[in-house]
């Protein structure tokens, strides 16, 4: 049965080949002038990874105090904040700071009311045109899915947030009102450097460095992009453990049944 062994290893090689093909697709399309992203140690990495609750709360604070001025978070509702550890009353208070249009009322008029926990995050601008008008023609993208919508994911976001240069290096022309960023494709980004040391004051005593800020907001945005991650991994471990045991039993059973043939 030498052929079978050969075939088996060939199968393994083929699967590997497919995998590398897919991986190459990723790296090749990201090439061009993309820089190498430093891999960070994320609390949510690996099959047992979970979101660092402190980082999530600090990250939300950064979103609220820094990002929310320009960036929407369309797919997240205020009630979702309870999942990162804010209590119900705090969530109600946070929601009530914003106004949403509702109606029509019995008179047929639309009216404004304070947002409720069930409402989605209120966007800073009414529409894309308004956003562009306030941002030098640039459109600040929605951040809900940002951590999944860029190659490199969290490492990309982190790199983007900390790798600004005040002066563009020689040979790079930067247009009026634009900024030089090492990580952004083309290096010319409309967003000014958003985070510095002590941009936000933390309540829990965490040192407020720029790196810490970047790490916290990235953790928060990874949660907004994949709020199911913890439940997914938890269920996955159970399912895979079951399947491993089940496979072991089936191997034994298969051997037993086939033994009758010989």
Q: What does the binding site for another protein look like in residue numbers (CB under 8 A)?
A: 1, 3-4, 7-8, 10-11, 14-15, 17-18, 21-22, 24-25, 28-29, 32, 47, 74-75, 80, 141, 144-145, 148-151, 153, 185, 225, 227-228, 231-233, 235-237, 239-240, 243-244, 246-247, 250-251, 253-254, 257-258, 261
Residue number with CB closer to another protein (15 or 192): 15
Identity of the residue, 69 or 248, whose beta carbon is nearer to another protein in the bound complex = 248
- Distance of closest approach, residue 260 Cβ to another protein, in angstroms: 9
Strands laid side by side in the 164-165 sheet: 164-165, 179-181, 188-189
β-bridge pairing 99-102 and 111-114: antiparallel
Residue 137 or residue 236: which is nearer to another protein going by CB? 236
Output the 3-class SS for 57-94: HHHHHHHHHCHHHCCCCCCCEHHHHHHHCCCHHHHHHH
| CB 187 to another protein: min, Å | 14
Rounded least distance, CB 40 to another protein, Å: 18
Q: Which two tokens stand for residue 117?
A: 């926990």
Element counts in the chain: helices (H) and strands (E): 8, 5
Cα dihedral 222, 194, 209, 61, rounded to 10, equals -50
Closer to another protein by Cβ: residue 38 or 245: 245
* Of residues 2 and 175, the one with the C-beta less far from another protein: 2
């Amino acid at each position: 049965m030498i052929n079978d062994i050969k075939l088996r290893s060939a199968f393994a090689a083929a699967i590997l080949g497919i995998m590398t093909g897919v991986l190459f697709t990723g790296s090749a399309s990201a090439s061009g002038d993309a820089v190498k992203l430093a891999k960070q140690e994320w609390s949510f990495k690996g099959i047992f990874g979970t979101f660092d609750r402190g980082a999530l709360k600090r990250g939300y604070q950064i979103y609220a105090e820094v990002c929310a001025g320009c960036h929407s978070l369309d797919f997240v509702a205020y009630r979702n904040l309870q999942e990162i550890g804010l209590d119900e009353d705090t969530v109600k208070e946070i929601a009530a700071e914003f106004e949403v249009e509702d109606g029509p009322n019995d008179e047929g008029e639309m009216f404004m009311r304070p947002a409720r926990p069930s409402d989605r995050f209120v966007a800073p601008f009414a529409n894309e045109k308004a956003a562009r008008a306030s941002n030098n023609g640039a459109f600040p993208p929605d951040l809900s899915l940002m951590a999944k919508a860029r190659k490199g994911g969290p490492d990309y976001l982190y790199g983007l947030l900390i790798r600004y240069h005040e002066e563009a290096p020689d040979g790079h022309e930067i247009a009026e009102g634009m900024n030089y960023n090492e990580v952004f494709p083309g290096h010319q980004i409309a967003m000014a450097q958003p985070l510095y040391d002590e941009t936000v004051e933390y309540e829990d005593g965490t040192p407020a460095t720029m790196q810490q800020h970047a790490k916290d907001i990235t953790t928060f945005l990874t949660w907004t992009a994949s709020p199911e991650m913890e439940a997914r991994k938890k269920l996955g471990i159970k399912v895979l453990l079951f399947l491993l045991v089940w496979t072991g039993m089936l191997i034994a059973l298969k051997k037993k049944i086939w033994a009758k043939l010989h």
